[in-house]
DNA sequence: TGAATTGTTATCGT
DNA sequence: AACGATAACAATTC
């Protein structure tokens, strides 16, 4: 369940290791995960340099350059401008994981793909459920244009959120999970955000008062920032690091007392998703 | 053994 | 037409 904070943690960790490196070989053990197909991606990335590693929503984006010079130039490092050699995209979906170099991950770690680099190091892509995706695109902005607002960007203001909610009859939970509106939240951080904002997941978006929209906006940013600062939420065999698990208030705490009022946390299903709520702090 | 788990996309109904 | 709800899908773990 890597969501925005976990993906951001990976990007920060791997950025300095990958930047300026040349990809000498690309291997896939499960080609169905490669988009549009293995041969295309292999041809597109082999021999290219990594100019920049960044994140858009839950996607990891590696800007590629044709030359070492291109990878190190200020132009390709500048935010935005797509480099001539296109972009490698990685989405971890449910159970994707990245590991760095050292020994080849054990068979039990579900190794699915590898990016071998010119300095002898390797980026390993592991994924138990094989839902993760690795892709190549000429222009990542076009490929990811369906994604909505980046919640930690400066441009994501309470006004912007208010406009997104205006006239929406949808419940808050499915709405916040919709990546075309706000991009990066998943099941864990939506539940945590709604608790922090004191809002019930079944509340209709259009029913929010101004102050509630502001509270929701503040909660989205506070929860995500805290999770990023703590390196994300560790999740048994899926995501190793991260201290955020010790700070979750509702997710995975069904039946245990609310840290705020002592009422047992309730578990319900909203839009086929496991949902956690404090019935007292988040009244409907 | 089968229920639970996820983000994304396609499809159906209003 | 736009929106919302729902199902299907990828595959594995416990």
Question: In angstroms, rounded to a whole number, what is the distance separating the alpha carbons of residues A172 and A157?
Answer: 18
Question: In angstroms, rounded to a whole number, what is the distance separating the alpha carbons of residues A245 and A231?
Answer: 10
Catalytic residue flag (residue A240): no
Give the closest nucleotide to A2 (alpha carbon vs C1'): B6
* Contacts for A176 with CB less than 8 Å, ≥ 6 apart: A182, A185, A190, A193, A194, A220
Residues in chain A: 284
Distance, Å, A72 CA → C8 C1': 44
Cβ of A148 less than 7 A from strand C: no
* Contacts for A183 with CB less than 8 Å, ≥ 6 apart: A4, A56, A57, A58, A147, A148, A149, A150, A151
Q: Three-class SS string for chain A?
A: CCCHHHHHHHHHHHHHHHCCCEEEEEEECCHHHEECCHHHHHHHHCCCEEEEEEEECCEEEEEEECCHHHHHCHHHHCCCCCCCCCEEEEECCCCEEEEECCCCCCHHHCEEEEEEECCCCEEEEEECCCCCEEEEECCHHHHCCCCCECCCCCCCCHHHHHHHHCCCCCEHHHHHHCCCCECCCCHHHHHHHHHHHCCCCCCEHHHCCHHHHHHHHHHHHHHHHHHHHCCCEEECCCEEEEEHHHHCCCCCCCCCECCCCCCECEEEEECCEEEEECCCCCCC
Distance, Å, A165 CA → B14 C1': 20
Catalytic residue flag (residue A273): yes
Distance, Å, A274 CA → C7 C1': 17
Per-residue pLDDT of chain A (284 residues; tens, 9 = 90+): 789 999 999 999 999 999 999 999 999 998 889 988 899 999 999 999 999 999 999 999 999 999 888 888 855 555 445 458 999 999 998 889 899 988 788 776 788 999 999 999 999 999 888 889 999 999 898 888 888 899 999 999 999 999 999 888 889 999 999 888 999 999 999 999 999 999 999 999 999 999 999 999 999 999 999 999 998 877 766 666 778 888 899 998 888 899 999 999 988 888 888 889 999 999 98
Cβ of A227 less than 7 A from strand B: no
pTM of the model: 0.94
The pair of structure tokens assigned to A138 is: 């000429």
Catalytic residue (one of A56, A58, A112, A253): A58
Catalytic residue flag (residue A3): yes
Output the pLDDT for position A272: 83
Distance, Å, A272 CA → C5 C1': 11
Output the pLDDT for position A262: 94
Q: Which nucleotides of B are covered by protein (CB under 7 A)?
A: 4-9
Cβ of A215 less than 7 A from strand B: no
Q: Among A255, A189, A270, A177, which residue's Cα sits nearest to residue A2?
A: A189
Output the pLDDT for position A231: 86
Question: In angstroms, rounded to a whole number, what is the distance separating the alpha carbons of residues A162 and A222?
Answer: 17
Catalytic residue flag (residue A2): yes
């Amino acid at each position: 369940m890597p969501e925005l904070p976990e993906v951001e943690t990976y990007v920060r960790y791997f950025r300095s290791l990958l930047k300026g490196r040349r990809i000498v070989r690309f291997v896939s053990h499960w080609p169905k995960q490669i988009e549009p197909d293995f041969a295309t991606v292999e041809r597109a990335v082999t021999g290219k340099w990594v100019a920049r590693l960044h994140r858009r929503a839950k996607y990891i984006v590696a800007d590629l350059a044709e030359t070492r010079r291109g990878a190190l130039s200020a132009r390709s490092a500048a935010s935005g401008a797509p480099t001539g050699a296109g972009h490698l995209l990685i989405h971890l979906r449910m159970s994707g994981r990245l590991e760095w170099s050292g020994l080849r991950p054990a068979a039990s770690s579900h190794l699915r793909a590898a990016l071998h680099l010119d300095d002898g190091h390797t980026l390993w892509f592991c994924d138990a459920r094989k839902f993760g995706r690795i892709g190549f695109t000429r222009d990542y902005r076009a490929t990811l244009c369906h994604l909505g607002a980046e919640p930690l960007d400066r441009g994501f203001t309470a006004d912007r959120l208010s406009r997104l909610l205006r006239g929406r009859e949808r419940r808050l939970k499915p709405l916040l999970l919709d990546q075309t509106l706000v991009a990066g939240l998943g099941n864990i951080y939506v539940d945590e955000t709604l608790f922090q904002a004191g809002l019930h997941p079944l509340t209709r978006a259009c029913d929010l008062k101004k102050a509630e929209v502001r509270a929701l906006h503040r909660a989205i940013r506070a929860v995500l920032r805290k999770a990023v600062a703590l390196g994300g939420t560790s999740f048994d065999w899926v995501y190793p690091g991260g201290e955020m698990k010790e700070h979750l208030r509702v997710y995975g705490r069904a039946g245990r007392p609310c840290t705020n009022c002592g009422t047992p946390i309730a578990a319900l299903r909203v839009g086929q998703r496991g949902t956690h709520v404090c019935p007292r702090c988040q009244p409907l």
